[in-house]
Structure 1
Amino acid sequence: MDDFSPSDLKTILHSKRANIFYLEYCRVMQKDGRVLYLTEANKENLYFNIPIANTTVILLGNGTSITQAAMRMLAQAGVLVGFSGGGGTPLYMANNVEHAIEWMTPQSEYRPTEYLQGWVSFWFDAEKRLEAGKQIQTARIEYLTQVWQKDKDLKQNGFDITANTIKSALQTFSTRNQKATQNSELLLTEAQLTKTLYKYAANNTKLENFTRQHQGSTKQHTDKANDFLNHGNYLAYGLAATTLWVLGIPHGFAVMHGKTRRGALIFDIADLIKDALVLPWAFISAMENATEQEFRQQILQAFTDHKALDFMFEQVKQIALGENHEANE
C-alpha cells in the first residue's frame, strides 16, 4: 500500500478504462495493496483481483459487503462505486424511492473546474439549455448511424441503418429536433423515436407483442428484452455518471430531463449511446434466450468496441466549452 500514491493509480484516463464490474454474494476487501473480492465455493474461499486502475464503475449487488480499506483504495483510483438491486437493475418500491441504486463518488477537491464553469455559463439561460439538449440529441443520432453502419454483428441480425423505417424515423427526428422551441418538444420527439426503434427491433427479432415495461420478469422472451433494456440502461448510466464525475459537473445540471428526475444529467448523457448499443443488443440477446451474464458481457464488449465512454467524454466537453476540445481529463 505504501508503494502507491493516488497519482500512480490514475495513470489510465477514465475515458480509456476498460472495466465495469457487477458483483454479488461476495466481500470486497484490500489485501497486500490490492483490491480483491472474496467468494465461497464448495467450502473454499476464492479471491479475485480487481484491476482498479483500469476500472470505471463497480456495482455491488445482492449479498455484498465492502471494507473501509477497499473503499479508500477505490477512492484513490477514482472508481465510482454503487449499490444496486439484483443484476444491477433498479428496484421499484412502495416507499417512493426513485430507484434502488446509490452512487458513492470519491471525494476530491482538486478536479479541474473548467468544464463545470463552462457548463454553468450557459445552464441558467433556457434557450442555451435547449440548444445543449438539441446537441445531445443530434450526437445521439450520429452515434447510432456510425455504430449501425460499422457493426457487422448488428447487420447480421438485421439492424440496417439504410432500412426505410429507420431512415424515415431518423429524418423526422432530426427535423423536429432542430425546430423544437421548448424542452417538452425535445422529450416528445425522443419518445416517438424510441417507440419506433422498439417496434423495429421487436419485429426484426421476432419478439411478438412487445410492450416496454420498466419492471419485467424473465418468464417470456419479451420480458427478457425488458430486463435486458433495464440492465443495459443502468450500465449506460454508470458510464454517464463516471463521465460527469471525472469532469466535475454535478448531476443536477440537466438540459432535458431535469424536471422529471433528480440527478437527471446522467439520463441526458446516457441517451447518447442507449439507442445505438443497448436497444439492439437487448432484443438480440432476448431472441437468443441469453442469460443475464451473457447479455452483460455482450453489452460491455459493445461499449468497448465502439468507444462509448470516449464518445461521452467528447460530447460533454464540447457542450461545456462550446468547441471541440482534446484536453485530457
Structure 2
Amino acid sequence: MEQFSPTDMKTILHSKRANMYYLEYCRVMQKDGRVLYLTEALSNKKSGENQYFNIPIANTTVLLLGNGTSITQAAMRMLAQAGVLVGFCGGGGTPLYMACEVEWFTPQSEYRPTEYLHGWLQFWFDDDKRLDAAKTFQKARLDYLERIWTKDLKGEGFALQDAVLQSSFETFHNRTDAATKQSDLLLTEAQLTKSLYKYAANAVRIEDFKRQHDSSDKANDFLNHGNYLAYGLAACCLWVLGIPHGFAVMHGKTRRGALVFDVADLIKDAIVLPWAFVCAKENATEQEFRQQILQKFTDHKALDFMFDTVKNMALNLGGSSIQQNDLEEQEALVGRSLERQNDEDTEL
C-alpha cells in the first residue's frame, strides 16, 4: 500500500478540516499505513471476531479518547505527523471524577512558526494591552453569537430581538467597556452566560434548569460535552499558530492552559449553549448531540473564526511590525518541518 508522507497528510489545512472523533472501549493502532480503531463485534463475541474502522487523520483536527481506550506508539506517531491533537477524557467527552480538564497531547516540532507568538508576547506583558485583548475577545464572542443566532436558531424559538436578550447584551457591552481588570470581565461574562442559560431553558421549555457540571440531566451533560469539543478546536488553533496555552488574556496567568478556555469561549455561547438545550428538549442521544454540534462547527466555520480572531490579535494588537503571513504558509511550514523530522529519524 502507498505510504503517505507528513507533507501529504498536511494537504488539508487545519482550519478546513471536518472531523473530530470521540472513541471509547476500543484500541487505536496503526495498520498498513493507516490509523484504525479496533472494537469487538457485538454480534460475533463468541467467535472473537474484531472490527476495524479507519480514522481519516489527514482530515481530522482532534481525537478524544474516553473510557476503555488504549493507543499504540505507532498510531501516536502517525497522528503527530498529520497534526492531529489527542485528548484523554472521561466518559462522554467530559472529565472523570477528580479530573479537572482534558489533557491535550500536541504534536511536537522544533520548527514551530514563531510569528504569532512574537506578536502575542509584544502585548501580553503589558497589563493594559492584555486587558484590551480580553475585551476584544469578549466583543468578538458576542458579535459571533448574534450572527449565528440570527441565521440558525429562529426555527428553534430563539428570537435575538427579544427584549431580555437585548438588555443583557447592552449591559454586557457597557460593563465590558468600563472594565478595569480581568476579574470585572469574568464577572460580566458569568452574568451574560447565566442570562443565556435562563433564556435558552425558557425557549425550549425546560423548567428549573440550574447549571451544574456534575449533574446528570441531559442539558448539563450536553453542555459539558460540547464545551470539551470546543476546547479541542481551541487547542488545535493555538498549536497551529504556535502560541503556548499558558499566555491567557482573561482566565488568569496562573492557570495552565487558560488560553484554551479564552479561545473556546469565542464559540461556546453561540453554538454549544443553544444546541445543548435544543437537543435536550428533543431527548437526543449523546452521539446525536455530538454529531449535531460538529456539523454546526463546520456550517458556521467555527475553527476559521478562531484562527482569524487569534491571528488578528497577535499581529495587530501588539503593534507588531511583522507582515501577516497567510495561514496556508504557516501550515505548510508545519508540514515541511514534520517531514524533515521524519527524514532525520529515518537517517538515525
CA-CA distance at 1:4 after TM superposition: 2.2
Q: What residue number does 1:288 align with?
A: 282
TM-score, normalised to structure 2's length?
A: 0.89
Q: What residue number does 1:265 align with?
A: 259
Q: What residue number does 2:271 align with?
A: 277
Matched, 1:320 2:314: yes
Gaps of 5+ in 1: 218-222
Q: What residue number does 1:26 align with?
A: 26
Alignment partner of 1:136: what SS? helix
Q: What residue number does 2:345 align with?
A: none
- Which amino acid in the other structure matches residue 104 of structure 1? F
Q: What residue number does 1:135 align with?
A: 136
Per-residue CA deviations over 1:9-54 (Å, capped at 9, x if unaligned) read: 1111101100000001111111111111111112331111111000
Q: What residue number does 1:220 align with?
A: none
Q: What residue number does 2:94 align with?
A: 89
Q: What residue number does 2:120 align with?
A: 119
Q: Residues 159-178 of structure 1 correspond to what in structure 2 (within 5 A)?
A: 159-178=158-177
Q: What residue number does 1:50 align with?
A: 55
Q: What residue number does 1:250 align with?
A: 244
* CA distance in structure 1 between the aligned counterparts of 2:25 and 2:182, rounded to whole angstroms: 43
Q: What residue number does 1:10 align with?
A: 10
Gaps of 5+ in 2: 318-322, 331-348
Q: What residue number does 1:188 align with?
A: 187
* CA distance in structure 2 between the aligned counterparts of 1:2 and 1:46, rounded to whole angstroms: 23
Who wins on radius of gyration, i.e. which is larger?
Answer: 2
Per-residue CA deviations over 1:278-305 (Å, capped at 9, x if unaligned) read: 0000001111111111100111111000
TM-score, normalised to structure 1's length?
A: 0.94
- Which amino acid in the other structure matches residue 100 of structure 2? E
Q: What residue number does 2:341 align with?
A: none
1:62 to 62, 67, 77: 67
Q: What residue number does 1:216 align with?
A: 215
- Which amino acid in the other structure matches residue 32 of structure 1? D
Q: What residue number does 2:39 align with?
A: 39
Matched, 1:305 2:305: no
Q: What residue number does 1:147 align with?
A: 148
* CA distance in structure 1 between the aligned counterparts of 2:79 and 2:30, rounded to whole angstroms: 10
* CA distance in structure 2 between the aligned counterparts of 1:205 and 1:182, rounded to whole angstroms: 36
* CA distance in structure 2 between the aligned counterparts of 1:39 and 1:201, rounded to whole angstroms: 38
Aligned pairs, number = 318
Q: Is the 8 A contact 1:34 1:49 kept in 2?
A: yes
* CA distance in structure 2 between the aligned counterparts of 1:299 and 1:309, rounded to whole angstroms: 13
Alignment root-mean-square deviation, CA: 1.5
Q: What residue number does 2:178 align with?
A: 179
CA-CA distance at 1:140 after TM superposition: 0.2
* CA distance in structure 1 between the aligned counterparts of 2:255 and 2:94, rounded to whole angstroms: 17
* CA distance in structure 2 between the aligned counterparts of 1:271 and 1:16, rounded to whole angstroms: 20
Q: Is the 8 A contact 2:247 2:253 kept in 1?
A: no
Per-residue CA deviations over 1:128-174 (Å, capped at 9, x if unaligned) read: 000000000010011001101111xx211111111111111111111
Alignment partner of 2:7: what SS? helix
- Which amino acid in the other structure matches residue 144 of structure 1? L
* CA distance in structure 2 between the aligned counterparts of 1:259 and 1:196, rounded to whole angstroms: 27
* CA distance in structure 1 between the aligned counterparts of 2:8 and 2:75, rounded to whole angstroms: 16
Identical pairs, percent: 74
* CA distance in structure 2 between the aligned counterparts of 1:234 and 1:20, rounded to whole angstroms: 11
Alignment partner of 1:322: what SS? helix
CA-CA distance at 1:259 after TM superposition: 4.8
Q: Is the 8 A contact 1:314 1:325 kept in 2?
A: no
- Which amino acid in the other structure matches residue 118 of structure 2? Q
* CA distance in structure 1 between the aligned counterparts of 2:104 and 2:140, rounded to whole angstroms: 26
- Which amino acid in the other structure matches residue 112 of structure 1? P
* CA distance in structure 2 between the aligned counterparts of 1:326 and 1:173, rounded to whole angstroms: 34
- Which amino acid in the other structure matches residue 270 of structure 2? A
* CA distance in structure 1 between the aligned counterparts of 2:91 and 2:17, rounded to whole angstroms: 24
CA-CA distance at 1:67 after TM superposition: 1.0
- Which amino acid in the other structure matches residue 131 of structure 1? D
* CA distance in structure 2 between the aligned counterparts of 1:91 and 1:46, rounded to whole angstroms: 27
